[in-house]
Structure 1
Amino acid sequence: MDNPAPRPTRKNALVRVATFALIVLPIVIMANLAIWAAFNQPHDAEAWTGEIVGFSYSPYQRGQDPTKGIHPTRDQIASDLKLLSGSVQAIRTYSVIRGLEDIPDLAASDGLSVAVGAWIDTDKVRNDQEIANLIKLAPKRNVVRVLVGNEALLRNDLPVEELIAYIRTVKKSVWKPVSTAEPPHIWLKNPELVSAVDYIGVQILPYWEGIPVNQAVDAVFDRLDELHRKYPDKPIVITEVGWPSRGKIIPRKPYPGIPEAELSSEAVPSLVNQATFMREFLNRAKDADLTYYVMEAFDQPWKASEEGAAGSYWGIYNADRQPKFPMKGSISEAPQWRMWASIAAGLALVFAVAFMMIRQHVKTAGVVIFTIVTQVAASALAWAGLSVTGLYLSSVDTVVWTFLFAAQGLLLIVLLAEAIEFVEVIWTRHGERHFAPFEPTEGYPENKVSIHVPIHNEPPEMVRDTLIALSKLDYPNFEVLVLDNNTVDPAVWQPVRETCAQLGSRFRFFHLENWPGFKAGALNYGLKMTAEDADIIAVIDSDYQVEPNWLRTMVPYFAKEDIGFVQSPQDYRDRHESTFKNMCYWEYAGFFHIGMVQRNYFNAVIQHGTMTLVRKSALQKVGAWAEWCICEDAELGIKLYREGYDSVYINHSFGRGITPDTLAGYIGQRFRWAYGAVQIVKHHWRSLAPWARKGGLTSAQRYYFLAGWLPWFADGLALLFTITSIGLSIFALSQPKMVQLPVAAFLIPTIGSFVFKFVRSLWLYAVRVKDCSFIESLGAGVAALGLTHTVAKAMLNGMVTSGKPFFRTPKCEDKPPLAAALIQVREEAVMLTALWGLSLAFLLNENFADSLSRLWVAVLLVQSVPYAAAVLLSFINVMPSLFNRKKDATEGALSPAE
Structure 2
Amino acid sequence: MDEPQVPPPAPEAAPEPAAANPRAWHRSAFVRQAAFFFIVLPLVIAANLAVWAAFNQPHHAEAWTGEIVGFSYSPYRQGQDPTRNRHPSAAQIEEDLKLLAGTVQAIRTYTMVFGQQRIPEIAAQYGLSVAPGAWIGPNLERNEVELERLIQAAPRRNVVRVMVGNEALLRRDVTVDELIAYIRRAKTRIWKPVSTAEPPHIWLNHPELVKEVDYIAVQILPYWEGIPIDIAVDAVFERIALLKEAYPGKPIVVSEVGWPSRGKVIPRRPYLGLSESELSTEAVPSLVNQATFMREFLNRAKQEDLTYYVIEAFDQPWKASEEGAAGAFWGIYNADRQPKFPMAGGISEAPEWRFWASLAAGLALLPAMLFILRQSHVRPAGVIFFAVLTQIAGSAIAWAGLSVTGLYFTWVGVTVWSFLFFAQGLLLIVLLTEAIEFVEVIWTRHGERHFKPFDDKVVSPTAKVSIHVPIHNEPPEMVKETLRALSLIDYENYEVLVLDNNTTDPEVWQPVRDYCATLGPRFRFFHLENWPGFKAGALNFGMAKTAPDAEIIAVIDSDYQIEPNWLKTMVPYFDKRDVGFVQAPQDYRDRHESAFKNMAYWEYAGFFHIGMVQRNNFNAIIQHGTMTLVRKSALEKVGGWAEWCICEDAELGIKLYRAGYDSVYVNHSFGRGLTPDTLAGYITQRFRWAYGAVQIVKHHWDALAPWARRKNGLSGAQRYYFLAGWLPWFADGLALLFTTASIVLSVWALYQPHMVYLPVAAFLIPTIGSFAFKVIRSLWLYAVRIRDCSFLESLGAGVAALGLTHTVAKAMLNGMITTSKPFIRTPKCEDKPPLAAAFIQVREETLMLTVLWGLTIAFLLSPDFADSHSRLWVAVLLVQSVPYASAVLLSLINVMPSLVRRKPKAETAGALSPAE
TM-score bin (small chain): over 0.9
Give the aligned partner of residue 635 of structure 2: 619
Q: How do residues 114-125 of structure 1 correspond to structure 2 at under 5 angstroms?
A: 114-125=130-141
Matching residue within 743, 768, 781 for 1:764: 781
Q: Determine whether 1:15 maps to 2:31.
A: yes
Aligned residue number for residue 676 of structure 2: 660
Q: Indicate which of 4, 15, 18 corresponds to 1:5.
A: 18
3-state SS of the aligned residue for 2:162?
Answer: strand
* Residue of structure 1 equivalent to 2:410: 394
What's 2:805 paired with?
788
Aligned pair 1:720/2:733, yes or no? no
Question: RCO (CA 8 Å, sep 6+): is it higher in 1 or 2?
Answer: 2
Please name the residue that 2:911 is paired with. Answer: none
1:45 aligns with 2:67: no
1:850 Cα shift?
Answer: 0.3
Mapped pair 1:831 → 2:844: no
Cα pair 1:563 1:648 within 8 Å, conserved: yes
Q: Which residue of 2 aligns with 1:278?
A: 294
Q: Name the counterpart of 2:873.
A: 856
- SS of the residue corresponding to residue 670 of structure 1 reads helix
Inter-partner Cα distance in structure 2 for 1:568 and 1:812:
26
Match of 2:746 in 1: 729
**Does the Cα contact within 8 Å between 1:789 and 1:866 map onto a contact in 2?**
yes
Aligned ranges 1:837-876 → 2 under 5 Å: 837-876=854-893
**Separation in 2, partners of 1:122, 1:499:** 90
CA distance in 2, matches of 1:656, 1:847: 57
Deviation at 1:261, TM superposition (A): 1.5
Pairing partner for 1:183 from 183, 194, 199: 199
Partner of 2:337: 321
Mapping for residues 282-297 of structure 1, pairs under 5 Å: 282-297=298-313
CA displacement, residues 313-346 of structure 1 (integer Å, 9 cap, x when unaligned): 0000000000000010101000111111111112
User: 1:440 offset after TM fit, Å?
Assistant: 3.9
Tell me how many residue pairs correspond in the alignment. 888
1:377 matched residue in structure 2: 393
Distance 1:40 1:496 in 2: 74
Amino acid at match of 2:791: F
* Offset, 1:86: 1.5
Query: What is the Cα deviation at residue 430 of structure 1?
Result: 4.6
The aligned amino acid for 1:729 is: S
Shift of 1:443: 5.8
Q: CA deviation at 1:811?
A: 2.6
1:134-180 Cα offsets, whole Å, 9 max, x none, are: 11111111100000000011111111110110000100110100000
Match of 1:590 among 601, 606, 627: 606
Give distance in 2, aligned partners of 1:216 and 1:854.
Answer: 23
Are 1:5 and 1:429, in contact at CA under 8 Å, matched by a contact in 2? no
Q: Which residue identity does 2:740 align to in structure 1?
A: I
Q: Which amino acid aligns with 1:470?
A: L
Counterpart CA distance in 1 for 2:592 and 2:315 is 66
State the Cα RMSD in Å: 1.1
Residue 707 in 1 paired to residue 685 in 2?
Answer: no
Once the two structures are TM-superposed, the CA of residue 25 in structure 1 deviates from its matched residue by 1.3
Residue 65 (1) aligns with residue 78 (2): no
Offset of residue 820 of structure 1: 1.1
The answer on 1:820 being equivalent to 2:820 is: no
1:753 and 2:766 correspond = no
- Matched letter for residue 249 of structure 2: D
1:180-259 correspondence to structure 2 within 5 Å: 180-259=196-275
The whole-number CA distance in structure 2 between the counterparts of 1:2 and 1:263 is 72
Quick one: distance in 1 between partners of 2:625 and 2:39?
48
Q: Which residue of structure 1 lines up, in the alignment, with residue 826 of structure 2?
A: 809
Three-state SS of the structure 2 residue aligned to 1:16 is helix
Q: Residue 894 of structure 1 corresponds to which residue in structure 2?
A: none
Give per-residue Cα distances to partners, 1:202-221, cap 9 Å, x unaligned: 00000001011110000000
Map of 2:181 onto structure 1:
165
Q: CA deviation at 1:881?
A: 1.2
Segments of structure 1 that go 5 or more residues without pairing to the other structure are 889-898
Matches within 5 A, 1:466-481: 466-481=482-497
Give secondary structure in 2 for the equivalent of 1:880: helix
CA distance in 2: counterparts of 1:2 and 1:571, whole angstroms: 23
Within a 5 Å distance, the mapping from 1:595-614 to structure 2 comes to: 595-614=611-630
8 A contact 2:368–2:386 mirrored in 1: yes
| Counterpart secondary structure, 2:294 | helix
Per-residue CA deviation, residues 369-398 of structure 1 (Å, 9 max, x unaligned), is 001110001100100000000000111111
| Residue 802 of structure 1, CA deviation | 1.4
Aligned equivalent of 2:348: 332
In structure 1, C-alpha distance between the alignment counterparts of 2:832 and 2:280, rounded to whole Å: 55
**Which digits, 9 at most, give the CA deviation of each residue in 1:180-239, with x for residues without a partner?**
000000000000010110000000000001011110000000000000000002100000
Per-residue CA shift, 1:619-658, capped at 9, x if unaligned?
0000100000000000000000001100000000000000
TM-score (ref. length: structure 2) = 0.96
Q: Residue 82 of structure 2 aligns to which amino acid in structure 1?
A: P
Q: What is the letter of the counterpart of residue 510 of structure 1?
A: F
* Displacement after TM superposition at 1:887 (Å): 11
Distance in 2, Cα, partners of 1:851 & 1:441: 69
Q: Is the 8 A contact 1:300 1:313 kept in 2?
A: yes
Structure 2 residue runs of 5 or longer lacking an equivalent are: 1-5, 9-16, 906-916
CA distance in structure 1 between the aligned counterparts of 2:406 and 2:458, rounded to whole angstroms: 77
Which of residues 265, 283, 292 in structure 2 aligns to 1:267?
283
Maintained 8 Å contact 1:55/1:90: yes
Greater shift, 747-756 or 809-818, is seen at 809-818
SS for the counterpart of 1:256 is coil
Q: What CA distance in whole angstroms lies between the structure 1 residues aligned with 2:357 and 2:628? A: 50
Matches within 5 A, 1:336-415: 336-415=352-431
1:698 corresponds to which of 690, 700, 715 = 715
Tell me if structure 2 keeps the 8 A contact 1:594–1:768: yes
For residues 810 and 508 of structure 1, what CA distance do their matches in structure 2 show? 25
Q: Distance in 1 between matches of 2:757 and 2:459?
A: 75
| Rounded Cα–Cα distance in structure 1 between residues aligned with 2:276 and 2:557 | 69
Matched with 2:476 is 460
2:705 maps to 1:689: yes
Paired with 1:227 and 1:5, the residues of 2 have a C-alpha distance of: 85
Q: In 2, Cα distance between the equivalents of 1:703 and 1:251? A: 49
* Residues in 1 aligned to 2:347 and 2:26: alpha-carbon distance in whole angstroms: 51
Greater mean deviation of Cα atoms: 16-25 or 475-484: 16-25
Instruction: Give the match's secondary structure for 1:281.
Output: helix
Alignment of 1:671-682 (within 5 A): 671-682=687-698
Determine if contact 1:659/1:811 at 8 Å carries over to the other structure: no
Structure 1 residue 441, shift from structure 2 partner: 3.6
Q: Distance in 1 between matches of 2:363 and 2:746?
A: 33
Amino acid corresponding to residue 248 of structure 2 in structure 1: P
Identity of aligned residues (%): 76
Separation of aligned partners in 2, 1:586 and 1:665: 17
1:2 and 1:432 in contact (8 A); partners too? no
Q: Is the 8 A contact 1:55 1:92 kept in 2?
A: yes
Q: Could you list the per-position Cα deviations for residues 516-547 of structure 1 after superposition, in whole angstroms to 9, with x for gaps in the alignment?
A: 00000000000000000001000000000000
Distance 1:853 1:459 in 2: 54
Partner Cα separation in structure 2 for residue 470 and residue 446 of structure 1:
17
Contact 1:54 1:90 in 2 (8 A): yes
Shift of 1:23: 1.9
| Residue pair 1:244, 1:274 contacting (<8 A) in 2 also | yes
Q: Secondary structure at the match of 2:712?
A: coil
Partner of 1:546: 562
TM-aligned CA deviation for residue 9 of structure 1 = 3.2
Moved more, 91-100 or 435-444: 435-444
Q: How many angstroms apart in 2 are the aligned matches of 1:51 and 1:383?
A: 36
Instruction: Report the CA distance between 1:804 and its aligned residue.
Output: 0.6
